[in-house]
Structure 1
Amino acid sequence: MLASSGGASHAPVLVGASAAMERLRIDIGKVARIDANVLIIGETGTGKECVAESIHCASSRARFPLVRVNCAALPDTLIESELFGYDRGAFTGAQQPYPGKVRLADHGTVFLDEIGELSPCAQAKLLRLLESHEVFPLGGRSVVKVDVRFIAATNSELELLVEARAFRRDLYYRLNVAMLCLPPLKERRDDLVELFAHHVREFNRRYDAQVGAPSADLVACMRAYHWPGNVRELRNLVESIFIDPPVGTVGVEHLREPFRRLFAAYARSGDGERERLIAILQETNWNKSKAAEKLSWSRMTLYRKLSKYALDDRLPHKA
């Protein structure tokens, strides 16, 4: 997944044709049609902000702002001024009024990122906001009604935090009207080549380069890797290639550290033979003769490997 850096007029791009991504697109469309609060759950780097943008851009609020709030960087002393705003003279240094992020998003969407990091005090103040849809600016004289939708995101298991009394149960239920669970990249291996190509196109344009597609060995390495940093980690890998960009096919030898060392060790180990075989078969359009030639195997060896890895029944009947 990749989020556009633009506003509501720039819908983000959701990359991938895997079953997991198709289900996610359908769910985003369903959630966008209603105006309920949304809770997005996913590991770091899976594209939670991108999904929030997608929901906002497909909703009836798309003409209005999407305002992001990083809850992990919101101390108790600043939550009211940051969210609710303040009038001039509300405190030392408040020389100009500030509407606050909630009012900046009026008629639009507030994206509460890393919601699981909020302190108990901040949770209580946020709960009041969700219940009343009113803000009281610091130094103000009256409450201000706001019309906003809330989308929250977390890489924490909020249910466990609720059971441990580290996260308010009532706030959890306020946020969790609609839940979207994002799959990690290791569960979207069929999207790896498309994601790689997407980021290569992005950086080819930016750096005026001519980097091409990944080699079969590199694809096999990517498919075997567990990607703890998810799509963000893959994007970083691709961008690092442009430090010394090759022209044409990208091999394991073109990677920067630590990926070069990690993937080269993997390629030498033979542990990824099944993934390499799959990658070669895909590269040769499932032609067994061409695959055997590229692998420097006899046809008998190829058939033995297909049987060993339970791949023979998956292949089309091609020569």
Structure 2
Amino acid sequence: SLAWRRTMDIIQQAAPSEATVLLLGESGTGKELLARAVHENSTRATKPFIAVNCAAIPESILEAELFGYEKGAFTGASTARDGRFEAANGGTLFLDEIGEISRHVQVKLLRVLQEGEIERLGGGGKPRRIDVRIVAATNVNLAEEVKAGRFREDLYYRLNVIPVSVPPLRDRRDDISLLAQHFVQVYAEKNGKAISGCSPTALERLTEYGWPGNVRELENAIERAVVLTRAGHTVIDEDALPREIRDATPGTASASSLTFPIGMPLAEIEMRVILETLRHTRGDKRLTAKLLGIATRTIYRRLETTDPDAADGSEPEPGDARLAAEEV
């Protein structure tokens, strides 16, 4: 697609330089693959590429993970340990979900970008020189985070040297059939099946669907379809696709997933809408809040009163009053 070609053009131009790259886009759009492309097309290609999902590491240990620590730095630190920056020395460090790091870690990251040095926890203020190129990614609007006081302005400008907008899959519909074919080949080989592609009707459903989970959701859908396609069948039919893809009109969830009985309390309806949207965003709370037009903290507050498994976009147990739609 034209949108993807424009993105790749910027990546190819940026890769040979030493400039910091900031990838901007929704979850599941392939930002880590683009970060790897930057690394593999740079002069650092033979050196390490280290990826860190800042949102997946608890805030209490993120600093130690990134910058390392000395023996005795904290309870349980029986030996010294390199952090991710030192592991990536000479190469590229990919910091995904950079908008989730605390202000304290932001200060230390700014020092890396300005001075090219880190300080381990318990290091007594002794700096360590490092040579690392940073590629960062976020699915939030960092400029708005700066205005809200949650992200340092000086760090934002240090990261935003070469911003690259990564288009969502719904804006790359010409790519869906190519991506689907690629994933069919990958998972057919992995599962030992002689599946060559998708039927015309299955491709039509895939192309019409809104893909709130982007490429990651497409990959999961194709893997599922390959597994469920019976032996002897050489193509994936639409019956093997998840129900929301078969039933949904373009860009929407399945209508059956948001049917409410008369008399259901408004709070219960709100919760089911939140859970259904979380399911389609694969647990991305910020994207869910954006789609619903509410604050992210509202999502967290509502989830405090429900099953914690639902926050990951997983299916609730049968009989739960807050059931999202069945996958199959």
Could you report, residue by residue, the CA deviation over 1:89-121 in whole angstroms, capped at 9, with x for unpaired residues? 222221221011111111111111101111222
Q: Secondary structure at the match of 2:75?
A: coil
The residue number in structure 1 matching 2:223 is: 239
The residue number in structure 1 matching 2:146 is: 162
Structure 1 residues 172 and 254: CA distance shift in structure 2, 3 A: same
Q: Secondary structure at the match of 2:55?
A: helix
1:173 to 133, 157, 171: 157
- CA separation in 2, counterparts of 1:114 and 1:20? 22
The residue number in structure 1 matching 2:262 is: none
The residue number in structure 1 matching 2:33 is: 50
The residue number in structure 1 matching 2:174 is: 190
The residue number in structure 1 matching 2:5 is: 22
**How many pairs are equivalent?**
248
The residue number in structure 1 matching 2:97 is: 114
| Displacement of 1:257 | 3.3
- CA separation in 1, counterparts of 2:129 and 2:235? 57
Structure 1 length-normalised TM: 0.73
1:133 and 2:119 correspond: no
Amino acid at match of 2:194: Q
Q: Secondary structure at the match of 2:187?
A: helix
Q: Which has the larger radius of gyration?
A: 1
| Displacement of 1:220 | 2.1
Q: CA RMSD in A?
A: 1.9
Q: Secondary structure at the match of 1:199?
A: helix
- CA separation in 1, counterparts of 2:101 and 2:171? 29
The answer to whether the 8 A contact 1:254-1:260 is kept is: no
- CA separation in 2, counterparts of 1:22 and 1:100? 35
| Displacement of 1:230 | 0.7
Structure 1 residues 139 and 118: CA distance shift in structure 2, 3 A: closer
- CA separation in 2, counterparts of 1:133 and 1:79? 19
Q: Secondary structure at the match of 2:210?
A: coil
Structure 1 residues 209 and 100: CA distance shift in structure 2, 3 A: same
User: Sequence identity, in percent?
Assistant: 43
Structure 1 residues 156 and 164: CA distance shift in structure 2, 3 A: same
Structure 2 residue ranges without an equivalent (≥5): 253-328
1:37 to 16, 20, 28: 20
Amino acid at match of 1:254: A
- CA separation in 1, counterparts of 2:248 and 2:217? 14
Structure 2 length-normalised TM: 0.71
Could you report, residue by residue, the CA deviation over 1:64-85 in whole angstroms, capped at 9, with x for unpaired residues? 1111222213445324322221
| Displacement of 1:33 | 1.2
